[in-house]
Amino acid sequence: MCACAGARAGAQDSGTQGSSSSSQQPTGEQNQGPATQYGVYQVADPLARVRYDNRYDMSLGFAYDHMKAGPNLLEGSNLGGLDMEGSYWLRRNWGIEATGRGYIGTSGAAPNVELASDGSLVVIRGPVVKQYFFVGGAEWLGPHNKHGALIAHAMFGGVYGNFQKDLRGEAPEVVGFYYNQIAPAGIIGGHFDLNRNEHWVFRITPDAVMTHYTFSDEPNSSLRYAQYDVNFAISVGLEYKFTSIKRSSNKKINWKSGW
């Protein structure tokens, strides 16, 4: 009887040890890490599909322009407006660009005091002036990669200057302004492009703006002289690339980003 009792007690001790050791071993579910529970993390590059093979693109931005509303004014005008541009690319690096720009603001005026018809004195200060540019020319794609690009352009055309809108019927020479007119103009500068994805680009466009207004005391006077002005302009906005239409090329290149 003593021998049977000892054997039974030994069997119980071995069973207890086996169950405790099996409970201490981790299960397969406990070994699963965050990667198994939440999936594998994949890095997505929004610039991976950036290319420079699109045929067309357009951009729109808020614009600033400095100008002088008259040939001898000491004070300039700080104008704000919009800048819309479009490009048609002929080859990998060369294209045609056109822009339409509108600016509006106030200008300093020459000292003036006029006697109105009712006998009161009229002083004109800070009249509103406007400029509208319509120019086009050549565009050159410079160094570029998937992050951004440098683009140069030289465009020529015309500008319409509205200087008499806010003069209360007085002649422009009273405040030292030009008459309303269409004049030759040129814009030379370029773009600093920062790609956001294959379609959208953040664009900064600094330019030198040249105008050639004519000044005279009368609108139809033969005693006229022209005034060349070179001023600074800049615009900030977005460009959209129409990537569905590609440029054609006979070269065995894939037009991917890179100089």
Specify the CATH architecture of the domain 59-246.
Beta Barrel (2.40)
Q: pTM of this prediction?
A: 0.75
Phi, psi angles (nearest 5°) of residue 181: -165, 160
Tokens of 222: 């033969």
Q: How far apart are CA 195 and CA 88, in angstroms?
A: 19
* Residue, of 72 and 242, whose pLDDT is higher: 242
Tokens of 169: 């019927």
Tell me what pLDDT residue 224 has. Answer: 63
Query: Quick one: pLDDT band at residue 9, thresholds 50, 70, 90?
Result: low
Q: What is the mean pLDDT of the chain?
A: 82
Segment 220-245 shows an average pLDDT of 85
Q: How far apart are CA 225 and CA 71, in angstroms?
A: 10
Segment 209-224 shows an average pLDDT of 72
Segment 213-228 shows an average pLDDT of 68
Among 101, 114, 105, 111, residue whose Cα is nearest residue 76: 105
